[in-house]
């Protein structure tokens, strides 16, 4: 395992459903490290239900997002593969089905930063599916 490095993290989500578009952005700090041939990004976010710790494990062809705290879920993204997860909050649990359309992982600045993009369709229970474009950008803090 390489030593973790402090990073600035920007998470952008664009959600399209029935012609309506919603854009969400999160700016936070976290850490980046490499372990067993995979890269990890770890950060905390304030959620409407409380504090959530997020760990993103990523390689060229797979992104795995684990959330714990006020929200609990493990969401796996592999191109052209359907995955299922349970999204848990204090109010109950929702079943999520994800179909990943595209994944792009690119390291920048001599591996001091990177951009992760995941395009996917999300089905929540019996609702219509939503189209999501998730972009996670991180850059090592220069101190």
Q: What is the mean pLDDT of each run of 10 residues along the chain (143 residues)?
A: 86 92 95 91 87 94 94 94 88 89 90 92 83 96 74
Q: Domain count of the chain?
A: 1
pTM for the structure as a whole: 0.90
Q: List the domain range (segments joined by +) for residue 25.
A: 5-140
* Residue 136's CATH number: 2.40.128.20
Six-digit token string for 136:
């996670």
Determine the pLDDT at residue 72: 92
Determine the pLDDT at residue 138: 96
């Amino acid at each position: 395992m390489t030593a973790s490095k402090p990073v600035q993290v920007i998470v952008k989500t664009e959600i399209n459903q029935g012609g309506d578009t919603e854009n969400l952005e999160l700016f936070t700090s976290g850490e980046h490290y490499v372990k067993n041939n995979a890269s990890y990004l770890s950060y905390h976010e304030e959620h409407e239900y409380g504090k959530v710790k997020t760990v993103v494990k990523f390689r060229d062809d797979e992104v795995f997002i684990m959330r714990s705290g006020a929200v609990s879920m493990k969401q796996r993204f592999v191109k052209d593969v359907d995955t299922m997860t349970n999204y848990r909050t204090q109010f109950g649990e929702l079943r999520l089905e994800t179909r990943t359309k595209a994944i792009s992982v690119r390291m920048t600045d001599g591996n001091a930063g990177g951009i992760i993009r995941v395009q996917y369709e999300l089905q929540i229970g019996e609702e219509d599916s939503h189209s999501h474009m998730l972009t996670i950008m991180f850059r090592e803090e220069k101190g």
